[in-house]
Amino acid sequence: MTGWLIAVEGTDGSGKSTQARLLAQHLGAVYTREPGGTPLGERLRDMVLDPAGDHPVDRAEALMIAAARAQHVAEVVRPALAEGRHVVTDRYLESSIAYQGHGRRLGPDDVAAVSAFATEGLAADLVVLIDVDGPVAANRRSGHLDRIELAGDEFHARVVAAYRAMATAEPDRWVVVDGTGTVEEVAERVAAGVADRLGPA
């Protein structure tokens, strides 16, 4: 019996990273993140996100994230699933479609094809979208912002719209959770939404 791959998605400032960790704890699942999750992936993450470093062009950004994803799936995700463990990942290929496909305007189909190659076709069984409006997310982003967080309001508005469109197109695979309220309130909504699909932890 293989485990479930659950991706937690949302725009920067949505609270998805916190919710991904809490969901993994709730389920007793492997927690991981993208880009990253492996030593190579974390180095690529730093190169992509560092606002002071060399700025990759948009296509290079998409390919670097896909490279990190390929390593992540091979080293972390597939082995855990094969052991029967659930995996909760903070971002997965839907992030690339939203951010690079729509946000960077590289085209969602092309970006999805690159991710499908990187993962050998491994899709998330369930995608949890922590949904907040763009202005709310912008107000939550503070402190030292990374290169993608600094991409501007119009960019992030395209990302939010892309996530909502994907969730609408695949309602059986997506759980949309209102990201407003306290961390605990949102975590309860996430756990309830996942339990509806997966069964109680």
**Does 171 sit behind a cis peptide bond, omega within 30 degrees of 0 on the bond before it?**
no
* pTM score over 0.85: yes
3-class secondary structure, 46: helix
Domains of the chain, start order:
5-198 (3.40.50.300)
| Burial category of 26 from C-beta neighbours within 10 Å (exposed 0-12, middle 13-18, buried 19 and up) | middle
pLDDT tens-digit profile of 92-122?
A: 999 999 999 999 999 999 999 999 999 999 9
Closest Cα partner for 5 from 65, 90, 130, 70? Answer: 90
The per-residue pLDDT for range 26-37, each reduced to its tens digit, is: 999 999 999 999
Query: What's the one-letter identity of residue 134?
Result: G
